[in-house]
Amino acid sequence: MTAFPSPNCGERRGGAVPELIVIHYTAMPDAPAARARLCDPAAEVSAHWLIDERGHTEQLVDEAARAWHAGAGEWGGLGDVNSRSIGIELANPGDAPFPEPQMAALETLLRGIMTRWGIGPEGVIGHSDMAPGRKIDPGPRFDWRRLVLQGLALWPEGGEAPAPDPLVFTALARAFGYPEVEFDTLLAAFRLRFRPRHAGPLDATDMAQVADLAARFGTDGDQWRGA
């Protein structure tokens, strides 16, 4: 690991400590270009970590500080995600697979961060989760299931579920952590994370997945049972 300190950071607000890890892709041609932007004062963006295509990991902002990676959005009913999170940028243009060395380095980094800050797999989210409609990274080519198999992210188990209903889906997605957005935007963001190759109207699988996530990890996740 090497360090290229970015000036684009500050103190976490309100005494917040990291409880989330937000995964991004850089949407730039290569890691040097991404590093230059993340360390440019004029750009006013940064992240705590940058991992290049070969798996080389660079720290740009101290984890105790507030990096400027998340922007507008929320998770778990709370905003200012920058103050509540650690941001990881993966060098990727947005339309390419994530190479094996990069994914292996991400797994190593995640284990360290989760241990240092006591963050569970439910705290590992994508930029698209906290900013539906505004962001789509790390995108449909990111292998969430790989992280799940190592206990570094979560996955719905399915099972009992209410009938497909946009209002119920929205309530359950909100209970799980998603922000308040229009239904179509919310469904697209949910599927981008959990069913990236699926299209069409809301269906039973969507409902089973969101109900399971809300029941196991959200607030008021049992609200639909017996209704």
C-beta neighbour count of 158 within 10 angstroms = 14
Known catalytic residue: 122?
A: no
The helix (H) or strand (E) run that includes residue 153 is: none
Nearest to 25 by CA among 103, 83, 79: 103
Out of 44, 63, 89, 107, the active site residue is 89
Residues contacting residue 148 through CB under 8 Å, at least 6 positions apart:
121, 154, 155
Contact 131, 193 (CB under 8 A): no
In whole angstroms, what separates CA 57 from the centre of its chain? 19
The H or E element containing residue 50 is strand 49-51
Q: HSE-up of 179 (CA within 13 Å, CB side)?
A: 21
Burial class (CB in 10 A: 0-12, 13-18, 19+), 174: buried
Neighbours of 61 (CB within 10 A): 27
Dihedral sign from CA coordinates of 212, 216, 218, 221: positive
- Residue 86 region by backbone torsions, left for phi larger than 0, else alpha for psi between -120 and 50, else beta: beta
Catalytic residues: 89
